[in-house]
Amino acid sequence: MSAWGQTLSGWFSSRTASAGAALPVRLGGRGSFAATTDIPQVRGFDQPLAWVVVTLLLFGLLMVYSATIAMPDNPRFTKYTHTYFLVRHTMWLATSFVAALMAFQVPISTWEKYAPWLFVASLVLLIAVLIPGVGKVVYGARRWISLGPLSFQPSELAKFAVLIYAADYMVRKMAVKERFFRAVMPMALAVAIIGLLLLAEPDMGGFMVIAVIAMGILFLGGVNARMFFLIATVLVVAFSLMIALSEWRRERIFAYLNPWDEKYALGKGYQLSHSLIAIGRGEIFGVGLGGSVEKLHWLPEAHTDFLLAVIGEEFGLIGVLVVIGLFLWLTRRIMHIGRQAIALDRVFAGLVAQGVGIWMGFQSFINMGVNLGALPTKGLTLPLMSYGGSAILVNMVAIAVVLRIDYENRQLMHGVRV
């Protein structure tokens, strides 16, 4: 028996002796995944992770209601009731919960088997959304497909599809030990095609998230640091050129640098300046739930991209720090589950979990940075909290897949084949 088998077998035989014990496991196996991790002795699934997700969802529901309750007073939204967004967000939460339960039932081996087909499906939807009559235009961007009373955003599915496909791709390429450029170029081409379709909507923020997810999985899949920084440099240059060659993107950068300038205060810097006003009004403890002034038709998209600004105004610095802390814990826990899977030689599952961690961590970081004025304005929502049905749905499916990975890890550690 291998050293790994002897160690694991010994732990199984003695697990009843110490209920709280943890096993140090060292894996010196496939690819570059030599690692040391602690595997806890537990069954079922990660309940703390599930409760943190539920906390973010419910707090998000509360804040979406608070941010939208006065919207019908605006002439643009007179046809809506005061509970219009609350009801729709609740419907999406219920739908997402059902989808998450279904996703949890799917073995990770099935996701691996159908990863290429999921990627193709996301490509088809990204093409379909660009077709007039199919794609729905909102504020000049064609990003949504109407599904009766609801709308679906294909770019959200693309994030999950690229994540699953990249993990499957890296596992296959690690197995055949191809040279770096030969192995990575097809994946780079796939991401480039997705990027071109997203930029045509346009949705540069979504492309940034997808590029970071793909890069993260490449790095975790064995790409050495030198090549990783080469890829990162190429992406930074590409995004810089996009900004330099686009007048309205350049204006956003200038507005970010000085949102109070009279040239931008009522234009490109309007959202940022009012977001900073909202957070400034909140001070330490906030003005109280429902007491936000900026949400009263001053701060655009207060229920989507700038929900954190409303949290900052109503719950102050304390509320913002709580949200940041929850997302930090969430990201760290998901990455830990991924490391556990890799230690158990479940490389695909580990890459998927860590990819979800990168996704949640990076997107929340960008959204918070925008709200706090640390980053240029970019149309990215706060995961699990902001109003936006398709985003909530895909986020919940991704979390359910992580919980399934954790569940299979625990079953495997207790001698149950998965």
**Residue 263: inside a domain:** yes
Question: Residue 136 and residue 74: Cα distance in Å, rounded?
Answer: 23
Is 264 a domain residue? Answer: yes
Chain length of the chain: 418
- Segments forming the whole domain that contains residue 230: 115-238
Domain count, the chain: 2
Among 179, 211, 238, identify where a domain stops.
238
CA distance 123 to 116: 11
- 389 φ, ψ (degrees, to nearest 5): -65, -50
Give the per-residue pLDDT at 75: 74
Residue 367 resides in a domain: yes
Q: Domain check: are 253 and 399 in the same one? A: yes
Let me know whether 269 and 381 are in one domain: yes
* Backbone Cα Rg of the chain: 22
Q: What angle do CA 49, 51, 52 make, to 5 degrees?
A: 65
312 shares its domain with 374 = yes
Spell out where 166-317 has E strands: none
Among 36, 44, 357, CA closest to 212: 357
d(CA 96, CA 39): 30
Q: Where a domain ends, among 206, 238, 270?
A: 238
Query: Do 170 and 217 form a contact (C-beta atoms < 8 A)?
Result: yes
> Which residues are registered as beta bridge partners of 405?
none
Q: Kindly state whether residue 25 falls inside one of the protein's structural domains.
A: no
Distance CA 291, CA 328 (A): 27
Q: How much is the pLDDT for 183? A: 65
Q: 126 and 64, same structural domain?
A: no
Strands 22-27 and 35-40: antiparallel
- Nearest by Cα to 22 from 30, 31, 11: 11
| Same domain? 209 vs 256 | no
Q: Tell me the C-alpha to C-alpha distance, in Å, between residue 398 and each of 53, 166, 176, 289, 355.
A: 12, 15, 28, 30, 10
Q: What is the largest CA-CA distance in the chain?
A: 74
Last residue of a domain, one of 238, 273, 290: 238
Tell me how far apart the alpha carbons of residues 390 and 405 are, in angstroms, rounded to a whole number: 23
> What does each of the 418 residues of the chain score in pLDDT, given as a tens digit?
444 344 434 433 333 333 333 333 333 333 443 344 444 444 577 899 999 999 999 999 999 999 999 888 877 777 888 888 999 999 999 999 999 999 999 999 999 999 999 999 999 999 999 888 888 877 777 888 887 777 888 999 999 999 999 999 888 876 555 566 666 778 888 888 998 888 888 888 888 899 999 989 988 877 766 677 777 787 888 888 877 777 777 777 877 878 887 777 777 788 888 999 999 999 999 999 989 999 988 888 899 999 999 999 999 999 999 999 999 999 999 999 999 999 999 999 999 999 999 999 999 999 999 999 888 888 789 999 999 888 999 999 999 999 999 999 999 888 776 6
Q: Looking at residue 43, what is its pLDDT?
A: 57
Residue 295 lies in a domain: yes
Calculate ∠ Cα 43-47-53, nearest 5°. 150
How many Å apart are CA 14 and CA 337, to the nearest integer?
A: 23
CB atoms within 10 A of CB 385: 27
